[in-house]
Structure 1
Amino acid sequence: MKFQGTGEYVATPELQMAVNAAITLQRPLLLKGEPGTGKTMLAEQLATSLGTDLIQWHIKSTTKAHQGLYEYDAVSRLRDSQLGVDGVNDISNYIVKGKLWEAFEADKPVVLLIDEIDKADIEFPNDLLLEIDKMEFFVYETQERIVAKHRPIILITSNNEKELPDAFLRRCFFHYIDFPDRETMKAIVDVHFPNIQAELVNDALEVFFDVRKVPGLKKKPSTSELVDWLKLLMADELGVELLRNHDTTKAIPPMAGALVKNEQDVHLLERLAFMSRRRG
């Protein structure tokens, strides 16, 4: 089965090619792109389109690679031994399976999402190289080898917070999700709001891309923020009028708190609006 997007996810031909190439090569698909461009949602929709399960491993700064395999809960075992709990001598009762173990023992190929891998320590990706290559790992406490029943489809996302090791990159199929152009963005909006007024979409996209073009913005508004903004405009039932008639002497568009997310960018837009008024 080839991935071609879904009714809820607009995938460009380049993204479709990347997903299908990674599946064919049996390589992890490493996705980069601006936050809010749908990297995580892609994994959800890929699992849906393939009719399989999604296993998500969300990475934090404190996450260690071995946690994806398993963890040995020595504290619980010590407590149970003090309380005389049955089964304390069976160490397997205190092995907590990680997300990779879940994916390896699944009865069908699943989609495994390793989300925001760049948040972890720099050695984190290298610590997973062998397991991802061989599709197996060893549990030292129980002396058993865990081998994948079916190779999972692995998607790895990164927001470029830090560089990933070359050895890890060599084992991945890489794709950078470009920010959607106006036509693709309109298609995305239509998926989220099938009955939205065409005038509202056109006016909102005009403002949205104008804001993104402002030089010096610390955080450009993303796709998810556009969706939130449109939801607010529609809920107010005055969306088109607000956009068309908003006071040009005001700094930023109406309800722009959904688009602009820090005070530096608000001040920048206010200064630009002030300069525009002076020129006017």
Structure 2
Amino acid sequence: MAFEGTSTYVVTDALRLAVEAAVTLQRPLLVKGEPGTGKTLLAEELARSLDTRLITWHIKSTTKAHQGLYEYDAVSRLRDSQLGVEGVHEVRNYINKGKLWEAFESDERVVLLIDEIDKADIEFPNDLLQELDRMEFYVYETDQTVRARHRPIIVITSNNEKELPDAFLRRCFFHYIDFPDRETLQQIVDVHFPAIAPRLVSQALEVFFDLRQAPGLRKKPSTSELVDWLKLLMADELAQEALYQRDPSKAIPPLAGALIKNEQDTALLERLAFMVRRQNNGPRR
């Protein structure tokens, strides 16, 4: 299977090969990288390129592995039995299917995204090992085995908030999405804004990379934030002029709220700008 990206998603050679390797090996593709580098979007665009359905399981700190398989709603069944509701003796009526079950019973091969797996408890990945390996699981309440009709393409994302177990890592094909270089960012911008002025892109990328290289920055601006910033700049001619005439001794670029997301980084940039002004003015006599 060749994944060449889509009209709205630029894929590097390394990422393309990683997708192909994971599909060939029939293993989940574990993707890490800075926030905003397109990890989640990869699964969405992969499903789009294959013209198939995307099933997304968003992981939270309270998520348990069995929720991806199914949940038995015993409380509702007890309540219905007290009320004399019809069908209460049929256990199947109280089985809520999870995202893995949904992917396994699909009539077509789907893309299954397990998003931000590192948010869950450390045991969460290990609790899914058998199901992801064998592509089946057992439902005790109904005495049935659910097997995948078609092996889904599984994309798992992680923001590196915690280490994943070795046993889980052995069963995945791993790829780290490096932050795009200037040439790749240019391609991404061209995809989103084909008619954008070259001067605006050039100046914006210059400022963008300067911000990312600022020492001590708590949150570096991401690719998605660059796209948002450019969209705002294109709609505001005054902001464009302010960008073109930007003084290095001024801390914050126009419409910087799309790039800088906390007050600590704002204060840091202001301090750095003050140091530039002080250096340019020279020592007082």
| TM-score in terms of structure 1 length | 0.98
- Contact 1:242–1:254 under 8 Å retained in 2: yes
**What residue number does 2:138 align with?**
138
SS where residue 71 of structure 2 aligns?
strand
Counterparts of 1:82 and 1:223, CA distance in 2: 55
Q: Which amino acid aligns with 1:163?
A: E
**What residue number does 2:283 align with?**
none
Structure 1 vs Structure 2 CA RMSD? 0.9
SS where residue 23 of structure 1 aligns?
helix
Structure 1: give runs of 5+ residues left out of the alignment: none
Deviation, 1:216, is 1.0
Q: Which amino acid aligns with 1:18?
A: A
Give a deviation string over 1:175-231, Cα, whole Å, max 9, x none: 000000000001001111111111110000000001001111111000011011111
Structural mapping, 1:86-97, within 5 Å: 86-97=86-97
SS where residue 238 of structure 1 aligns?
helix
**What residue number does 2:7 align with?**
7
SS where residue 96 of structure 1 aligns?
strand
Deviation, 1:247, is 4.3
Counterparts of 1:75 and 1:247, CA distance in 2: 65
- Contact 2:239–2:254 under 8 Å retained in 1: no
| TM-score in terms of structure 2 length | 0.96
SS where residue 187 of structure 2 aligns?
helix
Structural mapping, 1:26-105, within 5 Å: 26-105=26-105
Deviation, 1:232, is 1.1
The answer to whether 1:230 aligns with 2:191 is no
Aligned residues: 280
Runs in 1 of length 4+ with deviation above 4 angstroms?
none
Structural mapping, 1:259-278, within 5 Å: 259-278=259-278
Percent identity of paired positions between Structure 1 and Structure 2: 76
Give a deviation string over 1:89-121, Cα, whole Å, max 9, x none: 001000000000000000111000000000000
- Contact 1:199–1:240 under 8 Å retained in 2: no
Q: Which amino acid aligns with 2:31?
A: L
**What residue number does 1:209 align with?**
209
Counterparts of 2:242 and 2:74, CA distance in 1: 60
- Contact 2:27–2:173 under 8 Å retained in 1: yes
Q: Which amino acid aligns with 1:192?
A: H
Q: Which amino acid aligns with 1:158?
A: S
Q: Which amino acid aligns with 1:112?
A: L
